[in-house]
Chains A and B, each alone.
Chain A
Amino acid sequence: MAKKRISRRKFLVRGGLGALGVLAVGTYAFRNPLRRSILEMANSIDLPYSGSGMEPMVWFEVTQENNILLHSPKVEMGQGTFTSLAQMAADELEVSLAQIQVVHATTATGSIDALSTGGSTSVSGLWQPLRELAATMREMIKGEAAKKMAIDSTNLQIENGIITAGDISMTYAEAVANVSEWEIPDTPTLKDIKEYKFVGKPLPRIDLEAKVFGDPIFGMDVEMPDMLYGAVVRPDKIGAAMASVDSTKAETMPGVVKVIQEDDFVGVVARSLLEAENAKEALEIEWNVSKDWQTAAIVEMLKVGNGNPMILQKKGGGVEDGEDTISLEFSSPIGAHAQLEPNGVVASVEGDKAIIKISTQVVGITRKEVADRLDLDVENVNVIPTYLGGGFGRRLHTPHAVQAAVMSKAVGRPVKYFFTRKEEFQHDMFRPPTHHMLKGKLTQEGTIDTIQHDFSSGGVAIGSVLLPSAAHAILGADIGAIRGGFCQYGAIPNIRTVTWHVDLPFATSWWRSLGLLANTFAWESFMDELAMKAGRNPVEFRLAHIQDDQAGARLKSVIKAAAERSGYHDTPQNGRAMGFAASTDAGTPCAQVVEVSIEGDEIKVHKVTCAMDPGIAVNPDQVRAQCEGAIIMGMSASLFEKMEVVDGSLTPTIYGPYEMALMRHAPKEIDVVLLQGIDKPGPVGEPPLGPIGAAIANAVFRLTGKRLTAMPLKLS
């Protein structure tokens, strides 16, 4: 197993990873069928929906106004899922899109996702089950109408939720009135996709008006009658443990209702938010800190060779060190989620019941956490999700619901509490920093003979609420950190990828696209380097190394489309250079071409061409929106963002010092080309984050001759 570690010294003496010595200690992931299937699934996610209820009535409600309420088991965090689900349901239900209103299912009223909203799986995972449920519901309503109209149901026509037979008609609302027992028929045959009126159309988001007119739809906007405000103490330093608390002063502060001391947190409840925050500041707390961490120590820990290795891909032989070995190292920093809506929750605990209103990506898990902590029956905890002011993976951990529930129980009133921005930055579940070593050898003909990627990362999935630390013993590799770590060029004869897991002293976890951004940065920068060394055009060079199968064909298609659409050329013109990169994430291939110039010390991105094959685009406009947003978010992470560890604290703790892409950095032109290489929807929200960092670095190389190997990319 992977217990034997390679000491750093030994590693340095070797001058890098040899073909045999280091790899031999790694456990080969693919030997165990369970691991193999889980890891392959992680790399090519095609999860069917695994929700809590599959009865059509749990999903759909017919209102008296003859509209349909769709109780979504997935939350809306900006990704546009509600709109796509409405399109899918409307087409099979035979209603207009305007007749469908999508609401978050609560744990008391609907089917909630057993796991989470994340991983770009909402639309792809619900594609089949939701349409089947909608079609079944339609047939059920039709059956009731047939009974009421005393007509054989095969003679009924339906349009816009109105059932007609000759000159008799009945609305859905009339058909379902007073039905006390439903018959659920066999799943009807779904319509041909060509018959759909809404699926495949670039329709406006159904939440557009609410978001343009400032409707109170977010967790932060929730109020409950008689509500108080809470605040919870968090240490500034990594690993700090509370030694003592003196609440004498805090308890006398204006508006304070109660100071709550639990084994694992100290909180204050007060009449107003500001009073709660002021009282929190007045708590006198001593912290025990065993070590003042610094960035340099984290970077050292993370070097490939220091953690637990696991071989992910093994084809042919590894790279033997020699004169003709080409090698490069890459790194990415700690990244913050920085979503605009801070984490927050309103909890009301009364007797043996709890109501939790919260922006969360893990509705079911949050419910269980609250029930466990307060010793309540799970059925008595109703988690009511709100719209999320950004998710990006941050809200896959929402244990603050438990703290709010504990505080509510202690004061006997509802309690609202949310993080300050400083707490958001210091106590984020960060994107882990990474280190990558790439090695390769070319043949005399200028093709790749051997390629090897060793990459080290803090935990993404391992240690998270969705996958506890024990999972490492089963999986061996972190299914989040390895996203994008695989070699997508299957025609290369010799391939190795090895992942190294490192436990960091602070929490790291899911950040939109997980390992994809950093892994693709390393892979695709190195592919560019090899193409240059081989003296070949990087587009043609990539195409030459892709295998002949469906995944390969789709990857080739997006690469060709991006190159053609952008008019890719390999020589800078008028101070601008193009950069190329491609990735395959969760089965969705994406290629991007950037046009970059350098102005002073600044890397300026003028235009991005993005070709992606997500399969069926249920709402092509929102697929484009996801590409545009992911490209700029990826630019932000690649060019600017970086958390540091200084004297034990994660810093900075505010926007601005935590540098991000703003309006002035956004490309003036983003051209998205959508291809459809499969006949079902694939993941969309994360895949377009892959190529952007490498594409920019590859363009900079053409302008400066300098290979930037560390994110954020800086010229000096």
Chain B
Amino acid sequence: MNITFHINGSSQTVAIADENTPLLWVVRDLLNLKGTKFGCGKAACGACTLHVDGEAVRSCSYAIKFAEGKHVTTIEGLGTKESPHPVQQAWIAEIVPQCGYCQPGFMMATAALLEKIPNPTDEDIDRNIINVCRCATYYRMRKAIHRAAELNAANVEPESENS
């Protein structure tokens, strides 16, 4: 069967034998976007987190059939080296990654959190950022999340002054 959805801003149709194939493997193996990671296959670690219509989704447990017509964003679509997303800017500024494997999932979860809660408290972060990082970079991640919120606010403020 064919499934059509938007991936990182462009429309894509994939032919798939099993409509229950996890979105993760469509993204990684059919679309060759390797930034979204496999960690556990049971939505327990968050390494595969991406956005579906702006919501953070654990794509290892999200059947491709549900993506029909939706907008999927992966780490490759969050920002680029030339034009990084504020979350990526903050991650670079705080030098967060160690092994780096889980980091795209954390950045996607953080970007989705900041859309809902632009200036999260530590408690908001504790409640919402529940992915697993074995290098345990949590200490720098928390700083990076606060920094990303500040960067977002700084980006928004000049506009509100102009309006």
Which A residues lie at the B interface, using CB under 8 A?
77-80, 204-205, 207-218, 220-221, 223, 254, 272-274, 337-342, 387-392, 418, 420-421, 621, 625, 628-633, 636, 654-656, 660-668, 670
Contacts and interface: CB of A to CB of B under 8 A. Distances in A.
A668 B142 contact: yes
Contact of B76 (A213, A337, A636): A213
Contacts of B129: 663
B18 A625 contact: no
Contacts of A77: 99
B132 A211 contact: no
Contacts of B74: 214
B97 A629 contact: no
A208 B35 contact: no
A122 to B, nearest CB: 14
B138 interface: yes
B31 interface: no
Contacts of A663: 125-126, 129-131, 138, 141-142
Given A274-B18, A629-B135, A204 B95 contact: yes
Given A629-B98, A663-B141, A204 B92 contact: yes
Given A421-B39, A628-B139, A662-B130, A78 B99 contact: yes
A341 B37 contact: yes
Contacts, number: 171
Contact of A205 (B17, B21, B36, B97): B97
B126 A664 contact: yes
A633 B18 contact: no
Contact of A273 (B25, B104, B134): B25
A308 B98 CA distance: 39
Interface centre among B45, B127, B142 (most CB of A within 10 A): B45
B40 A212 contact: no
12 contacts: A78-B97, A273-B29, A340-B102, A342-B38, A389-B99, A628-B140, A629-B137, A633-B135, A661-B138, A663-B125, A664-B127, A668-B122
A420 B99 contact: no
B79 interface: yes
B45 A254 contact: no
A215 B35 contact: yes
Contacts of A209: 81, 92
Nearest to A420: B41
Contacts of B47: 340
B136 interface: yes
Interface of B: 17-18, 21, 25, 29, 32-42, 44-45, 47, 74-76, 79-81, 84, 88, 91-92, 95-104, 107, 122, 125-127, 129-142
A606 to B, nearest CB: 11
A592 to B, nearest CB: 14
Nearest to B77: A214
B132 A213 contact: no
- Which 10 A-B residue pairings sit nearest by Cβ, starting from the closest? A214-B35, A78-B99, A389-B101, A211-B100, A78-B98, A632-B136, A214-B75, A666-B138, A664-B126, A216-B34
Contacts of A80: 98
A625 B140 contact: yes
Contact of A421 (B41, B126, B131, B138): B41
Given A78-B99, A212-B88, A340 B132 contact: yes
Chain A: interface secondary structure? loop
A655 B44 contact: yes
A661 B99 contact: no
B31 to A, nearest CB: 12
A666 B142 CA distance: 9
Contacts of A204: 92, 95
Given A78-B98, A220-B38, A342-B39, 9 more contacts: A77-B99, A205-B97, A208-B95, A274-B21, A274-B25, A338-B132, A628-B137, A636-B136, A668-B122
Contacts of A337: 134
Given A274-B21, A421-B41, A628-B139, A339 B134 contact: yes
Nearest to B93: A204
Nearest to A630: B136
Contact of B138 (A211, A388, A632): A632
A339 B100 CA distance: 11
Given A214-B34, A391-B99, A632 B42 contact: no
Contacts of B122: 668
Contacts of B131: 662-663
A341 B101 contact: yes
Nearest to B99: A78
A598 B87 CA distance: 33
Contacts of B39: 340-342, 421, 655
B37 A220 contact: yes
B36 to A, nearest CB: 7
B133 A670 contact: no
Nearest to A271: B17
Given A209-B81, A662-B138, A216 B98 contact: no
Nearest to A627: B139
B103 A211 contact: yes
A27 to B, nearest CB: 38
Contacts of B101: 218, 220, 339-341, 389-390
Contact of B104 (A214, A254, A666): A214
Contacts of A631: 136
Contact of A654 (B34, B44, B79, B135): B44
B52 to A, nearest CB: 17
Given A662-B130, A662-B132, A213 B35 contact: yes
B133 to A, nearest CB: 7
Contacts of A205: 95, 97
Contacts of A662: 130-132, 138
A664 B126 CA distance: 4
Contacts of B100: 78, 207, 210-211, 217, 387, 389
Interface centre among B38, B102, B142 (most CB of A within 10 A): B38
Contacts of A218: 34, 37, 101
A288 to B, nearest CB: 29
Given A80-B98, A668-B122, A340 B44 contact: no
Contacts of B98: 78-80, 625, 629
